[in-house]
Amino acid sequence: MAKVIAIVNQKGGVGKTTTAVNLGAGLVRKGKRVFMIDMDTQANLTMALGYKFPDELKYTVMNVMSLALHDEPIDPKKGILINNEKIELLPSNVRMQGFEGTLVAAAANEYLLKEFVDAVRNRYDYIIIDCSPSLGVLTRNALVAADSVLIPVEPQFFAMQGLVVILRMIYAMRQETNHDLCIEGILIVRKDNRSYYKRDVIETLRKTYGQYMTIYQTELPSSVRATESADLGMSLYAYQRWCRLAKAYARFVNEVIRANEH
């Protein structure tokens, strides 16, 4: 049965999608069966995996959730894309924005994605859900369906404040809807060794939370390669696997595997 990991941060631009792509691609390179779900209304994961015109896709995560909303049968194989790096994807597109408004008014609206995830779990080793930069109903669907939450955090003061909000939501979800939800880990992104400020924030982060949850030893450096690879619709390994950021993601993938399989 797959380990289901939701990648969450309500702040945009913190490397959620970059982390999703390179965690997924790195796991595939290790021989794992990986399925990814794009829960972002901006469809960034879909585009970063090579599907440059997501609005032309006829079947997306919205269709799956709409079927669940109306108690209609779901074909767990329909609409799944497989990119050049052998990553399987349930995509998103702009229609998710309107559907999100529909979900707000629906009863039991947090359990729709879980129905689909439970139907495909036995086909994969890992299911990775890339969430939108909010803590709304789409993210809540991801958290109900997930086993754990991975939180990318940029070492800034406001990011630390945002982390508190995310942790409160996770604990609330654990009490209300998903009693087994846990924190997979905190991943430090956009580290800059030249910045004393960022180094101080990282030290504070590790001292404050390190005794309660996993903070990965791997710290991801800032790099323009992340944007370049996403624009080309490929992982860092396929783009420039010897760059610093690709090597850092490879170390991070090894940490995730060790934590889950040893």
Give the pLDDT confidence of 50-78 residue by residue, as tens digits.
999 999 999 999 999 999 999 999 998 99
Q: What is the CATH number of the domain that holds 160?
A: 3.40.50.300
- Write out the two tokens for 180: 């087994």
The pTM (predicted TM-score) of the whole model is 0.95
**Share of residues in the chain with pLDDT > 70 (%):** 98
Check residue 155 and give its pLDDT.
87
Is 256 inside a domain boundary?
no
Q: Assess if residue 36 is contained within a domain.
A: yes
pLDDT at 1: 87
How many domains does the structure of the chain reveal? 1
134: containing domain: 3-251
Q: For residue 261, tell me if it sits in a domain.
A: no
In a domain, 260, yes or no: no
Reading phi first (left if > 0) and then psi (alpha if -120 to 50, else beta), residue 7 is in beta
Quickly count helices (H) and strands (E) in the chain: 11, 8
97 falls within a domain:
yes
Amino acid at site 53: F
Question: Residue 259 domain-assigned?
Answer: no
Is 174 inside any structural domain?
yes
Residue 162: band (very low, low, confident or very high) from pLDDT cuts 50, 70, 90: confident
- Per-residue pLDDT tens digits for 76-128: 899 999 999 999 999 999 999 888 888 887 767 899 999 999 999 999 999 99
Under 8 Å between Cβ of 216 and 252:
yes
Question: What does the pLDDT average to over 232-256?
Answer: 96
